[in-house]
Every structure is written in structure tokens, then in C-alpha cells.
Amino acid sequence: MTTHPDHTDQTAPDDEHDDTTAADVLRERDIDPVTMQVIGGELDTIAQEMGYKLIRSSYSSIIRESEDMGAGIFTTDCRELCESDSTPMHVGSLIGYLDGMYKTFEERGVDREEIINEGDVFIHNHPHYGASHSPDIAVAVPIFYEGEHIAWAANTAHHLDIGSATPGLAIDLEDMYAEGSLFRATKVYDQGERVDGIWDFIEDNVRTPREVIGDLQAQISSCHVGEERYLDLVEKYGLEEIQQAGEALMEYAEALLRNEIRTIPDGTYYAEDYLDDDGRNRDQRLKIAAEVTVDGSDITVDMSKSADQTPTGYNIPFHGSTDVCIYFTIRSLLMDTFVRDEYLPQNSGTFAPVHPKARPGCMFNPTPPTSAFARINQVDKMSDLIIKALADAIPEKVCAGTCGQVYFVSYGGTNDEGEYWVYLEVNEGSYGGRPEADGLDAVDALVHNTKNRPVEDIELSHPMRVERYGLREDGHGAGRTRGGHGIVRESQFLTDAVMTMEGDGNTYRPHGLFGGGEGTHGDLKHIKADGEVLDLHSKESGYKFEANDRVLIKTASGGGYGDPHERPADTVYEDYLDGLVSETDAREEYGVVIEDGTLDTAATDELRNE
Amino acid sequence: MVSKSTGSSSETRVGVDVGGTNTDVILVTEDDEFTFKTPSTADPSQSTLTGIVEVCQLAGVEPADVDQILHGTTVATNALIEHEGAKTGLLTTDGFRDVLHIGRHRKPHSFSLQQTISWQEQPIVKRRHRKEVTERIYPPGDVITPLDEDAVLKQTGDLVADGVESIAVCYLHSYLNREHEDRTKELIHEQFPDVSVSTSSEVVAQFREFERFTTTAVNARLEPVMSTYLTRLSDGLADEGFDAEVLIMQSNGGMASVQNVAERPVTTLVSGPAAGVLSAAFEGEHVDEPNLVMLDMGGTSADISVVPGRVLERDPRDSTVGGYPTITPMLDIETIGAGGGSIAWFDDAMGFNVGPKSAGANPGPACYARGNDQPTTTDAQVVLGRIDPDSFLGGDLDLEPERSREALQTQLCARTDQAQFETPEQAALATLEVANTNMYRAIREQTVQRGYDPREYTMVAFGGAGPMHGASIAEKLEVSTVLVPPSPGIASARGLLTGNVKYDYQQTISSPLEEVDGEFIEDAFERLEARGREQLERDEIDPSRWEFRSSVDCLYDGQGYELNIDFDGTDGDWHARLRERFEERHEAEYGHYFEADPVELLNVRVTAIGDVESYAPPEIAADGALEAAKTTESTVVFGTPDAPEKLTVPRYEREKLTAGTEIDGPAIVDEFDSTVVVNPNWTATIETNGSIILTTEER
């Protein structure tokens, strides 16, 4: 291991943009708005096609059903030209991977021009060299035009298993070497020739070789599609025009975001909370703190006041995860695609005005050889805290406390032949109440936007039976708009099985906002075949179940927004009819009186006026 | 609007397509063809009936002499999109009442905190009406918990007491074993004969519970609406003295009987657009061009479909209507928000956009002078001189062209602090360029991304706006032929005349291909065919006109997306044959395949087809003088936003053009419901059936 790349502070706020008006931007742009729109659309189409092909032909359900992947075209200096509209966790992360590859070349003392050749295919997944985390293996194909390296086609996808300490997922890890197989700018094709040794290595070192190799092949095909389409575009418009348009599109995206940041009053905003534990030291809560500074059209999010890096795998790679989730959160707040009509191209411009920070050695910027395998809960809570910090500044754009957690689980076992099955499950979260609407129920929340796996698909494929899968009915954050509901899921194992649970939020509740109530926290149980019930921690590594045991998962329900007494009594009554609020809660939390199943308007008015 | 021409058909048939704005009707007799257009009414059975009666009067045909009425309907679609329909209940497996609510747990918008989700915001079945029943089936179809029949009756009783009129019965794994759903339906029918029941194994017997349950719930919700509509229409027709067979266009491009559609309204969600695809395919066949790209562009949106020698069906996993997944077979039609009403605008960062904002048909483009002052693509066409304000919609609608110019000037040129075009003409050309690019991209996604080379394709452009944009989009795609059918505004109604009766049946098998027993799979196909035969018999179609197509869906074991391949029986080494066909398809689709990996056979499918009457379009007069059709010359702007070119071009009246005539571009052909723009470097040739073929040498 050589020196650790320093990434305390990526980009300093950029003074020169402060006085730039949109009209200036247009004047300075070397390209007319029509051509920019045309080429922007072409780039977007390429990224979508790369994503589509990868999803359609992949094996593991975490890619094909959950769409835990990203794909796009990148400049040779590692800026993003376009990316597929898949789970935002990957949007922008490939920049970190390519950067990490370049750092690797540098450290190995190899000349980039010499090492990168036409027909090469690289894989890369090192958590301290820009990977989102090690199970997300990136495939990168250099695009050559007339002998010159002009761009990268790259994608990243979550693999079922990379040979880590426990099947699928892993938390209680000693260091990064326990994560399994780490690749740094490793060639799997060298100038068109398959590098057999590395494929053999992968086959011998992962628990699910057919899926992993099939999915890598699908990733390579997807990159080749991107390469072919990008070259078509270059043929059609000329390299210079494409590059110019690429620059203009990045400027354009940046200008859109800067306009929005300017609407937030300058100042420093702060929110903090505590995570359950690191997966080994059960009694030590971990502080997580988001400090958000708005200065003109720049916004800095500093996570440095958070806890030190943990001795387990419960840490967050700075590049590819901490930064990506900060970009995501700011963009979702300010460029909400549900309320806005303009076309925002996805490229590096959307990152330029946002400055992620975290001191080296804190959990959001761990130093080698620390493991950083399990990071999704921390970034969820981080997003939630950024939103909370900005609530007073932009109340019309935020929501009350989201679940701020996710139970990401791997189940696995072996069949009679000793072959592994592994199933990765992303359990649903919820949103807090919003200015105009209740929080969303049972969705994949925040930076991850995967799809669930159909119950029928699980039962066709694995020795499991799902007994129950529905909304929680035991409360939500009350508010003028209420928090969304988490889920309850109960699964039975038909054979002995092992589970690694990457979760959090068993000890804290989603916050209410502007008078709204707190939501409910998550809960995990092991129900043994004989009926005995055991409490589980939010993180379990290699936890064993016997045949006919069950696991019960309840995910957090969101916080309320605004005074619950301002919620129309009829709306509360509708929730009552739908089994989402009890008579008692209607009275105690909302001041709404329901007697024998009927809404008592007069009594409600009386109670609410008390 | 009326027109009359000579055609041929052995029977008298009427096609009637109800659209959002107009109801289009076409009547063909043995030697004549008549068309008619009337505004759609709130109760669509009224304008449908009016249209049919009027076209008969126009043709001098007695109602009793009409043999067949072919109908494209938006009743189901509108009810779904507008959240109407019956009060619906759901009976489902204990523990799973919220499958409809959770969906696939993916948010429609990745970057949004404020979004709402259609199936949560506007549930097809409210939570209080989603009831659970103890029962369980587990792969490969074993009953591990028997059906609690008392619970079925108790829950149904509660639903009925709460006013529920229609019930969806959706149990897990019912695609493997439909016993519990069938029994539940039987029990409800016995005790509650007035309640409609849709079971998921009948509606769409495929795995993935959210999609199957939702499709079934949508069907249940629409069933009473569709039944009522069809009854009203049938009664109305009977009152007027009609005794014709009525067939309804389904999303799969096939016709179905009234009885079938009343039970399965979910199969009609893209009825009208499907007829458009058939129309395109028919026009292509007429000129021996099998490879087609359809562009049907109207006031608010454009429908795009690629026809590579055959009409394609959409991957059921991509099929959604109104935000709800509906996985019944439907033709592969991509709808994008690009129409005559799409608005051109600058955003805050000086990005120039056309759409998705739209002024629609009402208030419509600025030149309609109905309260919209934002410039639309129609306004751009007006400013460029391509639309003749005096003859727009036969002069039925007064256009105010100065409002188009003003809208472009004010919104896109005169803004002091922001980006601007110098002249309204430049702004108009830029508007069309961006709108055309949006459509071009959508077509590329449907062709290039799927391995179809559009350069070998002919574009069929219709709808009110399609013939104005067709050639320009073709230029981007390097397509050298564009076909504009006669009266492009009613192409979908004409497409109805070309359809066959078509029913789809499928069954999930989910077994390793190598392990599928020949006899077993032949049995499965036979059972599906039997359902098809039964339906065709009910429709009273002569067996000599029956056809059955068999196919299977395969995938590598562990993948999630199946590919459909033809099945040609179990002779010889059929396993190897299917495997080879699957690998070819996989490579074509994704660029690679795996020689050694196990293949799974997921579904078997049968399409039952009943060949109905064929349609032959009338021929138009030949060898007239081009000059006779010329109405005037006018100034029309072509070129690019950077370099507009004002040209003086001739205008022709389409009705007066005769077969064999050639027109060199630039030129404009005006007709009642559309305008055909012949770009510079393009030539228009008039076909014997009145179609205009636009061709260019330049690619």
C-alpha cells in the first residue's frame, strides 16, 4: 500500500461564478442553444442505452431487478458527460473510480498513454481509490478515435459476492483486505485479448462465480455499446463539436444549479444525530454531524465533526459515496425533477458548485487499511441531516425526518452440492411529511432508488418463503402532513441459512418538523421455529438461522411536518378507515374524535379548540 | 368533413376511432369509401353513434346493410387516467394486501423530495378494500395452505356492504396453480351474483405479483365501465336499426368481440394508437415496404412505433398506462410529449426547450387566440408560412397568424436580459429543430438501440402534424422515403379496417429448458389453444380463418428479462433448436451470449387469430395536370436557425392531385386535416391510392 490519496476538500468555492448571470453564460458559450440541446440529448440516449443493456442481460437480482448500477461516458480527465438514470447512488461515482485508476497508474509509475490501449477493458473496485464500495465493480473501456484516447465508456454495478468474510455483505471486518477481492485498474482484456488469469482468479475467489462473471460480461457489452454510439456521434458531428458541446452542457448544468443555490440565504446550517453502533462495539453510538455552508452560489457540506472512522467495515469511502450522496441531496432539494420542467443534463456540471468535505480519519473519509464496505445507512442519515439543517432556510423544499436508514440484507446458504445461493434484499424506507403531501410510504428512500424483488421471484429462486410483506400499522410521525409508513416483512428459511444485516436506526426515530411528531424506529427479530423471539441488532455479521426459523423486519416510519391539529379531520378519518391510525392515536395525536368507527366532527372541534 | 372516393370491399364496414378531440369515421362499401369527423363527446358512445349514423347517411347506406363496425375506444384509458371506474375491492393472500401500494418500491423520480406516486396517491383499490384470505400456493404450484372459503365469503360480504361493485382476486403464484382463484370466483358468483370478478390467472397468468395484481385490479375497476359503455353503444345502434357485428380494437393490434372486451377491458388501453400502427403497416404493405417507422403526431403528443417487417409488442415489463403497470400484450408504441401544442421556452440557465409543457388542443397554440400566448410548434409552422391560416381545418378554425409571430417575438426574441433569437423566423426554425430532435431521439431509441437500422426504413407520417415534420425528422435519421397516407388525420380509423381478431394467452412454466418434457409442453400449448378455439367459436368466426401462433419466453437461469422466440413443435432435438434460437436473439439484443449457461423456459404463449374481412383502398384518378391542383404560391421559410432561407413555393390542394404526379420540393400540399411539407431536395410522388411518397436522393 502506498500513500493515501488526500481528499479533504475537493474544490474550493469558486468566487468567479458569483457575479456571473445566466445571460453571460450564454454569451460565453461557444455553441448555440439548439446544437447544445441536440448533442445533450444524444449523450443522454447513449447513457440510457448502456444502462438498459446492462440491466436486461445481467444475472444478479441486485442489478436486474434492483437496478443497483450506473453507466455513462466520461472525458479523459475524468469528468462526466452523461449518465444513465439509474439509482442515484451511482450518479457521479464513476468519476471517483476513474480518478482512482489514474492515481493507481501514477503510484505504479506507469505512463498513462502507454498503459491505456485500444481494446483494453479495466476493472476497479478499491474503496480507497474512488470506488463507491468494493462490491460495486466498475468496468471501464477507453474510447479511441483515429488512434487517440478521447473518452471512457464506463459502468459500475453491485455484484452479488466478491469473496468477502461473509456471503454477499460484510460489516464486522478487520480491514480492507477482509472485503474480498480488490482490483485496482486491472485489465481483464488487454488490447482485445482476454486475460485468462484474472478471469480464473475471479472464478476461484467469489461464492457465486456464474453470476459475477456473467454480470461482468454484461457490463463489458454495455461499455462497448457506449463506445460504439459515442464514436457514431463523433463521426456525425466531429470531435471538436462534441467536446465543445460537452463543455457547454456542463456549464449549463452548473449554471442551473448555481441559480438555485443563490436562493438560499448565506450562512452555516447544522444538524447532528447518532447512529446505533459500528457492528462490533454494541454500546458505542456514533455521532454524525452535517455542517452546511451557503456562500453565494456555492454550497459546502462538511462532515468532519462526525465520529472517527470505526474499526469495522462500517465506514464510507469519501470519493464515490460521501461526495456522491452530498451531490444527490443538494440536487434533490434544489432541482427537484417532480416540480421542474427544464431538462437538466446529468454531468459534472451538477457537481461543480457543491463542495463535499470530511477530515481524513473520520468515518466519512477513512484512511487505509480501514475497511469501508458498509456505508449505505451512514449516507442515508447524512442526507437526512443535510435536509434537516436546511429546513428553516428553505422550508418549502424539504421534508420531515425520513427513515434515514435501510436494512440492506444478504441471505445465503449452500445446496446439497455445496454451491452457494446469495440473495441481497433492500428493504423499504419512508419519507417524512412534505409541504404539500404526506411522506411517501414504503419506497427505497433517498440516494438509493432500486427496485424490490418480487416475492414470487424470491420463492421461485431460493429456499425462502415470505410470510408477510406490507405497511407498518403501528404509528407514524403525526403532522399536518404525516410521515410515510415503513414496512413489515417476515421471511421464513426453508433450509439453514446465514444472514448479514447492514442496518441502523433501531435506536433513534425520524425527526418531526415545524410541530410534527417523531416517526417510529426500525426493529428486527429472529423468530425461532419453536416460537422463541430474539431481538437482533441493526447490524449482524454472518448470523445463523436454522430451517423453519423466521426473520421479522420493521422499517422506520417517517416524521410529521407541521402541527397535527392542522390536518383536516376528514383526512385523519380516511387514514383510520385504511387502518393506518388507531382511534387512540387519532384522538391523542391529531385531536380527532372517532367513536365506534364514525367521525365525530363536533367532538373533534371541541377537542381541537381546547 | 366529408369525402367520397371509389374503393372495394365485399361487405359494408365502418371503422370508428374515438380520439381526445375528434371522433373519426370511415365507411367502405364494395366500391366506395366515405370519411367523416365529428367532435368527441363527454359520453363517447354519443359521438361514436353520431359518427356512424352520419357516415351512413352520407354514403346512402341503410343501417341494416352495415355488416361490421370496427371500433377504437379510449373509454378504458380515460377512466384509468381520470381515476374513474367502479368501486373496486381486492381479495389477496394473507399478508400481502399492500403489494398494490408498495409496488416495486422504486420512486419514479430519482432526484425529488416532493414527488407523489400514482399507485400510492390514487390507488386502484383503497387499502380498506384490500382484504386478505388464508390460502397459500408455493412453487412449483403446491397448495401448502388450503383456501379458507368462509373467509372468502366473509370478506366479500364486507366489501359488498361497503358498496364495492367489482372484485379483483389476486393470490400469490396463481400463475402456477389457479385452483384457489377459480374457486374464489365461483364462490362469489354463487353468493353475490351482481359483483364482477376478475382473477389474476385469467387476466394475465404471469409471475411478478405487483404487475399482475395491478393489471387485474385495473381490469376489475374498468369492467363495469366498459360493460356499461358497450351496452349503451349496442342499444343505441339497435335503436338506429343497426344489426352489424361490432368488434373492438385491443392494445395488441387485434380485434376482439364485445363480449370479450366487456370482460377484459384492460386489453384496450392503447386501442386507438394500436389502430394507427396497423394503418402504418397497411400503407407500407401497399407500397411493398415492410420496414417502417410510424410517426403519428397530433396536438399534444407523438406516437412512435417501429415495424421491422412485423408489428412489435412491447416488453410487458415496460408497459404502463397512466403510471400503472398493465402487462397485457400491447403493441410497442412510444408516446412522447411532442405535438402541435408543445411550448418553446428558455429556462433560467438559458437552455432552450420545446415541451414537455403543452398548450394541447385547448387553449391550443397562440394563433388559436384562446388564451395561450406561449409559442408552440404550430405557431412556428405558421410563422414559417407552412400552415395556411385560411385553410386550416378546412377553414373551420380561424387562425390569427399575427399572434404566432407575437408569441415567438415576445417570448423568444425580445427578452432583454436573456438569450434571444434575432427574428421570429429564427426562433421558429430553432423550435422545429428541437422538437424534431426530440422525436428523432425517440425513434433512434426504438430502432438503433434495438439493432434496427432506420436508414433501411420508410417513415409513415400521419396525424395532423406528422406530415409537416416527417421529412425533416427523416433527414436526421438518414431515412430517404416518407409515406403520407390519404387523409392523415383519420389514419387510425382506417387502420381499424385492416385488423384481424386476435387473442393472446400465456402460461408461466419456469423450468430448465433441458428438463421440459415434450409431451408436457405440447399439452400446455394445447390448453392455451383450446381457450383460443373456444373464444373464436364464441365469436362465430369460421374455422377456415383461424390461425394459431406459438412462442416461448426464455432466459438464462438467474436472469430477470426473458426474450420471446418462436416455437415450432417438439420434433427432433427441439431443446437444441430453441437454445440456438435463444442464443441468437440474446446476442442480437445484448451483444453477447453464454455457450454453457443453463437456459430457463419461462412462459409459453399462444396467439389465436381469426382472419376477418380484408380492406382494399379505392384508387384515385390518374394523369391529371399538376397545375390544376395548384392553388397559389407563398413565402415559406426553410434553412437553419443560423441561416433561414425565404423561398417562394407552390401550394397544391391534395384532393386535386392525381396518381403518378410528381412534385419537386420545396412545395406545400394543403388538405383538410393536415399539411404536407415537401422540403427542398425532396420529391413528392402521388400513389394510386392517394398516398404521397416523399423521397430524397440526399442522405
Q: Which residues of B touch A428 (CB under 8 A)?
A: 102, 105
The pLDDT of A348-371, averaged and rounded, is 96
- Nearest chain A alpha carbon to B559: A59
Phi, psi of A158 (to 5 degrees): -80, 120
Is there a single domain that holds both residue B493 and residue B511? no
B106 contacts A443? CB cut-off 8 A: yes
Is there a single domain that holds both residue B321 and residue B466? yes
Residue B507: the pLDDT is 87
Is there a single domain that holds both residue B375 and residue B281? no
- In degrees to the nearest 10, what's the CA dihedral of A475, A476, A479, A481? -120
Decide if B317 touches A, using CB distance below 8 A. Answer: no
A578 contacts B105? CB cut-off 8 A: no
DSSP state of A453: P
Task: Assess contact for A276 and A335: CB atoms under 8 A.
Answer: no
Tell me which residue in B114, B430, B559 faces A59 most closely, judged by beta carbons. B559
Alpha-carbon distance of A519 to A559, in angstroms, equals 4
Residue B243: the pLDDT is 93
CA of A430 vs chain B CAs: smallest distance (Å): 10
Peptide bond into A5 cis (omega under 30): no
Burial class (CB in 10 A: 0-12, 13-18, 19+), A109: exposed
Q: Which residues of B touch A225 (CB under 8 A)?
A: 591
- Angle CA B668–B674–B680, to nearest 5: 25
DSSP state of A511: P
**3-state percent breakdown (helix, strand, coil) of chain A, nearest 5:** 35, 25, 45
Q: SS3 sequence, B222-251?
A: HHHHHHHHHHHHHHHHHHCCCCCEEEEECC
B441 contacts A339? CB cut-off 8 A: no
Range of the domain at B208: 84-222
pLDDT at A303 over 70: yes
A451 contacts B106? CB cut-off 8 A: yes
User: How much of chain A, in percent, has pLDDT values that exceed 70?
Assistant: 95
Ordered DSSP codes for B66-95: --EEEEE--HHHHHHHTT-S--EEEEEETT
CA atoms in the 13 A half-sphere facing the CB of B672: 14
Is there a single domain that holds both residue B143 and residue B166? yes
- Angle CA B540–B542–B546, to nearest 5: 110
Long-range contacts: B31-34, Cβ < 8 Å, 24+? Answer: B31/B6, B31/B7, B31/B618, B32/B4, B32/B5, B32/B6, B32/B7, B32/B59, B32/B618, B33/B4, B33/B5, B33/B6, B33/B7, B33/B617, B33/B618, B34/B2, B34/B3, B34/B4, B34/B58, B34/B59
CA of A10 vs chain B CAs: smallest distance (Å): 23
Alpha-carbon distance of B496 to B249, in angstroms, equals 7
In DSSP terms, B131 is beta-bridged to B91
Tell me which residue in B105, B434, B592 faces A443 most closely, judged by beta carbons. B105
Decide if B377 touches A, using CB distance below 8 A. Answer: no
CA atoms in the 13 A half-sphere facing the CB of A331: 31
B597 contacts A579? CB cut-off 8 A: no
A454 contacts B210? CB cut-off 8 A: yes
Q: Which residues of B touch A36 (CB under 8 A)?
A: 351
Tell me which residue in A22, A341, A580 faces B350 most closely, judged by beta carbons. A22
Tell me which residue in A58, A91, A470 faces B95 most closely, judged by beta carbons. A470
Is there a single domain that holds both residue B510 and residue B594? yes
> Of the candidates B236, B268, B300, which is a domain's last residue?
B268
Cell 364514525 locates to: A598
Alpha-carbon distance of B343 to B338, in angstroms, equals 9
Decide if B209 touches A, using CB distance below 8 A. Answer: yes
Binding-face residues of B in 62-91 toward A, CB within 8 A: none
pLDDT digits (tens, 9 = 90+) for A500-510: 999 999 999 99
Alpha-carbon distance of A218 to A450, in angstroms, equals 19
Residue B416: the pLDDT is 55
> How far from the centroid of its chain's Cα atoms is residue A61's Cα?
17
Q: Which helix (H) or strand (E) holds B588?
A: helix B574-590
Alpha-carbon distance of A126 to A180, in angstroms, equals 11
| Phi-psi map region of A250: left, alpha, beta (phi>0 left; psi -120 to 50 alpha) | alpha
Is there a single domain that holds both residue B621 and residue B601? no
Residues of chain B with pLDDT under 50: 1-9
CA of B679 vs chain A CAs: smallest distance (Å): 20
Which CATH number do you get for residue B7?
3.30.420.40
Is there a single domain that holds both residue B205 and residue B112? yes
CA of B563 vs chain A CAs: smallest distance (Å): 10
Is there a single domain that holds both residue B682 and residue B543? no
pLDDT digits (tens, 9 = 90+) for B139-183: 989 999 999 999 999 999 999 999 999 999 999 999 999 999 999
- Nearest chain B alpha carbon to A486: B102
B120 contacts A455? CB cut-off 8 A: no
> Of the candidates B552, B580, B610, which is a domain's last residue?
B610
Task: Assess contact for B578 and B570: CB atoms under 8 A.
Answer: no
Alpha-carbon distance of A79 to A349, in angstroms, equals 9
Rounded to the nearest 10 degrees, what angle do helices A209-237 and A239-261 cross at?
110
B347 contacts A443? CB cut-off 8 A: no
Alpha-carbon distance of B276 to B445, in angstroms, equals 20
Decide if B120 touches A, using CB distance below 8 A. Answer: yes
Tell me which residue in B96, B594, B641 faces A214 most closely, judged by beta carbons. B594
Decide if B588 touches A, using CB distance below 8 A. Answer: no
CA of A105 vs chain B CAs: smallest distance (Å): 30
Is there a single domain that holds both residue B90 and residue B208? yes
Is there a single domain that holds both residue B439 and residue B490? yes
Binding-face residues of B in 328-367 toward A, CB within 8 A: 346-353, 356-357
B116 contacts A337? CB cut-off 8 A: no
Q: Which residues of B touch A263 (CB under 8 A)?
A: none
Q: Which residues of B touch A45 (CB under 8 A)?
A: 441, 444-445, 449
ipTM, interface predicted TM-score of the complex: 0.92
**For testing contact with chain A, the best of B94, B100, B110, B561 (most A CBs within 10 A):** B110
- A340-344, A440-444, A556-560: lowest mean pLDDT where? A340-344
Tell me which residue in B95, B102, B114 faces A339 most closely, judged by beta carbons. B114
Residue A1: the pLDDT is 34
Q: Which amino acid is at A497?
A: A
- Nearest chain B alpha carbon to A35: B434
Decide if B595 touches A, using CB distance below 8 A. Answer: no
Q: Counting every residue, how long is chain B?
A: 699
Alpha-carbon distance of B613 to A34, in angstroms, equals 49
pLDDT at A227 over 50: yes
Is there a single domain that holds both residue B364 and residue B249? no
The total of structural domains in chain B comes to 5
- Nearest chain A alpha carbon to B208: A454
- Angle CA B679–B685–B689, to nearest 5: 130
Q: How confident is the model at residue A610 (pLDDT cuts 50, 70, 90)?
A: confident
B116 contacts A437? CB cut-off 8 A: yes
Q: Give the pTM.
A: 0.90
pLDDT at A346 over 90: no
Task: Assess contact for A392 and A335: CB atoms under 8 A.
Answer: no
> Of the candidates B610, B629, B652, which is a domain's last residue?
B610
Residue A8: the pLDDT is 43
Its sign, for the CA torsion B77, B83, B85, B89, is positive
The pLDDT of A102-129, averaged and rounded, is 96
Decide if B591 touches A, using CB distance below 8 A. Answer: yes
pLDDT at A29 over 80: no
Is there a single domain that holds both residue B214 and residue B328? no
Its sign, for the CA torsion A575, A580, A582, A585, is negative
A23 contacts B417? CB cut-off 8 A: yes
Q: What is the mean pLDDT of chain A?
A: 92
pLDDT at A329 over 90: yes
Q: Which residues of B touch A252 (CB under 8 A)?
A: 349-351
CA of B615 vs chain A CAs: smallest distance (Å): 39
Q: Render the burial of B153-167: b for 16+ CB within 10 Å, e for the rest.
A: bebbeebbeeebbbb
pLDDT digits (tens, 9 = 90+) for A165-189: 988 899 999 999 999 999 999 999 9
Tell me which residue in B121, B138, B434 faces A34 most closely, judged by beta carbons. B434
Cell 376528514 locates to: A570
DSSP state of A556: P
Q: Which residues of A touch B138 (CB under 8 A)?
A: 459, 465
CA of B356 vs chain A CAs: smallest distance (Å): 7
Residue A22: the pLDDT is 47
Ordered DSSP codes for B458-526: EEEEETTTHHHHHHHHHHHHT--EEEE-SSGGGHHHHHHTT--EEEEEEEEEEEEGGG--HHHHHHHHH
pLDDT at A90 over 80: yes
Alpha-carbon distance of A348 to A343, in angstroms, equals 15
Q: Which of A52, A54, A44 is nearest to A81 (CA)?
A: A44
Alpha-carbon distance of A174 to A386, in angstroms, equals 30
Q: Which of B10, B11, B9 is nearest to B245 (CA)?
A: B11
Residue B174: the pLDDT is 96
Q: Which residues of A touch B346 (CB under 8 A)?
A: 33
Q: Which residues of B touch A434 (CB under 8 A)?
A: 113-114
A342 contacts B351? CB cut-off 8 A: yes
Alpha-carbon distance of A449 to A316, in angstroms, equals 19
Binding-face residues of B in 168-207 toward A, CB within 8 A: 172-173, 175, 207
Residue B388: the pLDDT is 85
pLDDT at A482 over 60: yes
Residue A2: the pLDDT is 37
Alpha-carbon distance of B278 to B275, in angstroms, equals 5
CA of A174 vs chain B CAs: smallest distance (Å): 32
Distances (CA, A) of A215 to A55, A89, B46, B297, B583: 9, 19, 55, 40, 17
Residue B168: the pLDDT is 98
